[in-house]
Structures are given as C-alpha cells and as structure tokens.
C-alpha cells in the first residue's frame, strides 16, 4: 500500500511539473521576442538639474540654520 502511495505521489508530481511547464513556457518565449526599446522619457540634463535644485535648497536651509 505504501508503494502504491509513493507511486501516486510521483505521478502527481510529474503532472504538476508538466502543468507548470505548459503555463510557464509561453510566457518565457514571449519575453524573448525582440521588440524596439521605448524612447527615453527624459534625458540626463533634467535629472542633473533636479539634483542641483535639491542641493541648492539644502545649502539654503543649512545657511539659514547656521546664521
């Protein structure tokens, strides 16, 4: 009886693995298709300008606190 249960467990495991591969393979093959990259939404200068504004604000606050 224990051998029969172990055999059924192996069958269930094989079916579970097969279902996983059937569901996962179409998703993985869809990711491999080459599609054009989207255009960048912003360039580096806007990011640099934002960082500069934050640093100037920090300097202004520190100057206000020190004086």
pLDDT of 39 reads: 76
SS in 3 state form for the chain?
Answer: CHHHHHHHHHHHHHHHHHHHHHHHHHHHHHHCCCCCCCCCCCCHHHHHHHHHHHHHHHHHHHHHHHC
pLDDT of 60 reads: 93
pLDDT digits 0-9 by tens, 9-67: 777 777 777 777 777 766 555 555 567 877 777 777 888 999 999 999 999 999 989 88
pLDDT of 38 reads: 79
pLDDT of 32 reads: 56
pTM for this one?
A: 0.40
pLDDT of 42 reads: 72
């Amino acid at each position: 009886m224990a051998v029969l249960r172990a055999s059924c467990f192996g069958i269930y495991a094989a079916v579970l693995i097969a279902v996983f591969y059937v569901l996962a393979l179409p998703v993985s093959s869809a990711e491999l298709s080459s599609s054009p990259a989207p255009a960048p939404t912003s360039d580096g200068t806007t990011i640099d300008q934002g960082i500069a504004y934050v640093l100037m604000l920090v300097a202004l606050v520190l100057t206000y606190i020190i004086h």
